[in-house]
């Protein structure tokens, strides 16, 4: 389904916004403990759900990520997981995309209200099985206007996409840059059963070596599924990349979900864009510049600056209170009170 001018984006809970009609302070009629199942395009990748746990605990909600099996779930993983066969009773199913696994899970729970929330970046090309989700969607959310456009394309929907911000920006670290420190943001070198990979690692490796030769201090923020041995010669960050970026003069990497988060911290970004890489526009708008040649890395990093405020708003979305806005939409979706706005 083409995404035309009919697709609308609503900024939730912002000053003077008509979207406030979506929300009500009278919660007496809502379930006291909403029970939510979540399925993502990365079947065993719980790292996109983990930032939601604090808000779930605050509200007394129960979140459970549905996974094919427990074989790739670490014993200490804080995200509750279950298979379709062992999943607890729920009030709502949330899919974070229209990949094969979320579509399968939706088919396993045909009677649950369904919402789609973009918890990670997805390109605007319509997913092959998105049509199987569209008739059931009660709500669609995304972090930013740019992400909303891409997510609408991924789902092939013309429903209103409610922009709620990213829960990971609800507690931003204070930026204290250290001279000469560059944070490198990796992607995933090889696809596996947990998710796809993005091309560009060879370009990024070459660019980082140019930076090291020029005297830059290198710290690497690994994607959760990246092969760490590729980066063994460099210092690996022991804290989340968003936190590590607060101490860097600039960041360089393969554009991904973390890019708008780091822009929200206030750290300039340089994108490594391999010719084979398809990147949604909103991830590029938060970059100071992009390079497709490693020889350009030093100059790009030395001259890295944050883009204009309007470009940042397009890519980042509202900052602060994002988890609350997301959960408010889910509350309405569980009751079927959102989709009629489309």
307 and 325 part of one domain: no
Determine, yes or no, domain membership for 114. yes
| Average pLDDT over all residues of the chain | 88
Count the domains in the chain: 2
232 and 125 part of one domain: no
Q: Is the pLDDT of residue 228 over 70?
A: yes
Better-scored residue on pLDDT, 34 or 200: 34
Determine, yes or no, domain membership for 49. yes
**Taking every pair of C-alpha atoms in the chain, what is the biggest distance, in angstroms?**
62
The pLDDT of residue 167: 97
214 and 301 part of one domain: yes
Q: What is the domain extent for residue 157?
A: 9-170+319-341
Determine, yes or no, domain membership for 89. yes
112 and 233 part of one domain: no
237 and 323 part of one domain: no
125 and 197 part of one domain: no
117 and 228 part of one domain: no
pLDDT tens-place string over residues 291-337:
999 999 999 999 999 999 999 999 999 999 999 999 999 999 999 88
Q: Specify the DSSP element, H or E, that contains 278.
A: none
Determine, yes or no, domain membership for 30. yes
- Full-model pTM: 0.87
44 and 105 part of one domain: yes
Least confident of 1-10, 75-84, 174-183, 263-272: 1-10
Q: What is the CATH number of the domain that holds 94?
A: 3.40.50.2000
Q: Is the distance from CB of 62 to CB of 79 less than 8 angstroms? A: no
103 and 71 part of one domain: yes
Determine, yes or no, domain membership for 3. no
267 and 297 part of one domain: yes
Q: Is the dihedral of CA 235, 241, 243, 249 positive or negative?
A: positive
Determine, yes or no, domain membership for 4. no
26 and 142 part of one domain: yes
233 and 148 part of one domain: no
pLDDT tens-place string over residues 232-262:
889 999 999 999 999 999 999 999 999 999 9
Determine, yes or no, domain membership for 204. yes
């Amino acid at each position: 389904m083409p995404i035309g001018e009919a697709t609308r984006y609503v900024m939730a809970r912002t000053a003077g916004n008509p979207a406030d009609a979506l929300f009500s302070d009278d919660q007496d009629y809502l379930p006291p403990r909403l029970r939510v199942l979540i399925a993502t395009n990365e079947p065993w990748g719980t790292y996109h759900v983990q930032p939601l746990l604090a808000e779930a605990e605050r509200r007394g909600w129960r979140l459970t990520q549905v996974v094919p099996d427990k074989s790739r779930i670490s014993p200490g993983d804080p995200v509750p997981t279950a298979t379709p066969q062992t999943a607890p009773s729920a009030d709502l199913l949330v899919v974070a995309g229209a990949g094969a696994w979320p579509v399968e899970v939706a088919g396993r729970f045909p009677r649950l209200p369904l919402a789609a929330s973009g918890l990670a970046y997805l390109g605007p090309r319509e997913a092959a099985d998105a049509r199987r989700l569209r008739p059931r969607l009660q709500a669609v959310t995304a972090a930013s206007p740019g992400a909303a456009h891409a997510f609408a394309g991924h789902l092939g929907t013309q429903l209103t996409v409610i922009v709620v911000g990213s829960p990971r920006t609800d507690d931003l670290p204070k930026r204290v840059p250290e001279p000469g420190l560059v944070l490198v943001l990796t992607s995933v070198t090889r696809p596996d059963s947990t998710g796809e990979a993005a091309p560009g690692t060879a370009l990024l490796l070459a660019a980082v070596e140019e930076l090291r030769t020029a005297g830059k201090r290198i710290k690497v923020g690994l994607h959760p599924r990246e092969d760490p041995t590729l980066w063994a010669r460099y210092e690996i960050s022991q804290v989340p990349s968003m936190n590590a970026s607060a101490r860097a003069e600039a960041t360089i990497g393969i554009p991904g979900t973390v890019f708008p988060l780091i822009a929200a911290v206030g750290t300039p970004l340089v994108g490594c864009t391999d010719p084979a890489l398809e990147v949604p526009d909103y991830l590029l708008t938060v970059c100071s510049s992009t390079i497709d040649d490693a020889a350009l890395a030093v100059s790009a990093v030395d001259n890295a600056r944050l883009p204009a405020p309007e470009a940042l708003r397009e890519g980042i979305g509202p900052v602060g209170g994002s988890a609350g806005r997301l959960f408010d939409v889910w509350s309405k979706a569980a009751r079927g009170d959102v989709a009629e706005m489309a």
